[in-house]
Amino acid sequence: MTSSTLGTPPSGWVNRHVLGFGRHSLAVAQMEIAKIGREPTELLTRAIQPALWLIVFGQVFTRTRAIPTGTMRYLDYLAPGVLAQSVLFSAIFYGLAVIWERDLGVVHKLLVSPASRSSLVFGKAISAGLRALAQAVIILALAAVLGVRLRTDVMSLMGVALVVVLGGALFSTFSFVIACLVKTRERFMGVGQVLTMPLFFASNAIYPLSMMPPWLRTISALNPLTYLVNALRALMIEGGEGTAGLGTDLLVLLAVFLVLVGIAANLYEGIVR
């Protein structure tokens, strides 16, 4: 056995920090993904709520034409919003898993390892993003059945997949931050409930920004969900477009995600105190 295996870090700065970050993130993500595959029923039960939004809410409001969506049919307008909502709802309670791991002691094991905190957070975020993607497949299939005018070219579908993963990663990391701050299940549930609906309603998921009073429009411009909805609308729907341009949407999402990873990495240690 060589001495390089006995507690000395891998040689070379790039190997240790850049590749190390990748290896550790991947190791964490891989294990989390293994868990998703073992709970397929969860993916199905979580698809029920978005299905209701599309089938009930979507059908009714498409018929009543109460919400002005220009030349776009309301159901087409709504579908990306429902997808974004499912990404938000499935990711926003990710912090519960973090608290669960804290109550058990799994977090302690992760935190005493040489893996950087940011690689642990990043790995978990990516796995949460992939969980959201599994959910998205179900919703897209349902939307197709309901006759939503989806773009079906490979580039668009890949774009949608990428944005879903990014959105899931972003909101799960947001949830991660809250978990580190509140630390207990009870408080987390309280905060989670309080945040979810405002995030949803202060966005253009189910109605356009133009319908909102100015104050709400300001809030929704600060809401990452708005950018997620915009990006999905532009990528998913024939003739769909966001309000700020796809490039802006992606940049905002990526920047918010990376900032949240930084915050979560800094707070992570505090969860065991």
Partner 1 sequence: MSEFELPVRPAVLTQALTRRFGELVAVDRLDLEIASGIIFGLLGPNGAGKSTTVKMLTTLLPPSSGRATVAGHDVVREPAAVRRQIGYVPQLISADGALSGYENLLLSAKLYDVPRKEQAARIDDALQFMGLTDAARAMVRTYSGGMVRRLEVAQALLHRPAVLFLDEPTIGLDPMARHAVWERLRESRTRYAMTVLITTHDMDEAEQLCDRLAIMNGGRLAATGTVAELKQRVGPSATLDDVFAHFAVGVITEGGSYRDVVNTRNTAERLG
Q: List residues near partner 1 by CB under 8 A.
A: 1, 3-10, 20, 23-24, 26-28, 31, 34-35, 38, 101, 103-106, 108-115, 269, 272-273
Q: Taking a C-beta distance cutoff of 8 angstroms, is the pair 242, 220 a contact? A: no
Residues near 27 by beta carbon (within 8 Å), at least 6 away in sequence: 115, 123
Q: Is 12 left (phi over 0), alpha (psi -120 to 50) or beta?
A: left
Instruction: Please identify, using beta-carbon distances, which residue of 111 and 211 lies nearer to partner 1.
Output: 111
Shortest distance (Å) from residue 264 CB to partner 1: 17
Instruction: Please identify, using beta-carbon distances, which residue of 10 and 190 lies nearer to partner 1.
Output: 10
Shortest distance (Å) from residue 111 CB to partner 1: 6
Burial class from Cβ neighbours inside 10 Å (0-12, 13-18, 19+) for residue 166 reads buried
d(Cα 168, Cα 138) in Å, to the nearest integer? Answer: 15
Shortest distance (Å) from residue 9 CB to partner 1: 6
Shortest distance (Å) from residue 28 CB to partner 1: 7
Instruction: Please identify, using beta-carbon distances, which residue of 39 and 238 lies nearer to partner 1.
Output: 39
Instruction: Please identify, using beta-carbon distances, which residue of 1 and 222 lies nearer to partner 1.
Output: 1
Question: What are the structure tokens assigned to 167, written together?
Answer: 């959105």
Instruction: Please identify, using beta-carbon distances, which residue of 9 and 190 lies nearer to partner 1.
Output: 9
Counting Cα atoms < 13 Å in the Cβ hemisphere of 99 gives 19
Instruction: Please identify, using beta-carbon distances, which residue of 101 and 209 lies nearer to partner 1.
Output: 101
Instruction: Please identify, using beta-carbon distances, which residue of 77 and 94 lies nearer to partner 1.
Output: 94
d(Cα 102, Cα 220) in Å, to the nearest integer? Answer: 33
Shortest distance (Å) from residue 36 CB to partner 1: 10
d(Cα 122, Cα 21) in Å, to the nearest integer? Answer: 9
Shortest distance (Å) from residue 117 CB to partner 1: 11
Helices (H), the chain: 13, 20-38, 40-46, 48-52, 59-64, 74-92, 94-104, 106-111, 117-145, 154-182, 185-201, 214-221, 224-236, 246-268
Residues near 181 by beta carbon (within 8 Å), at least 6 away in sequence: 267
Instruction: Please identify, using beta-carbon distances, which residue of 33 and 221 lies nearer to partner 1.
Output: 33
Shortest distance (Å) from residue 34 CB to partner 1: 6
Shortest distance (Å) from residue 106 CB to partner 1: 5
Instruction: Please state, in angstroms and as integers, the Cα–Cα distance from residue 31 to each residue in 120, 122, 214, following that order.
Output: 12, 13, 45
d(Cα 231, Cα 215) in Å, to the nearest integer? Answer: 23
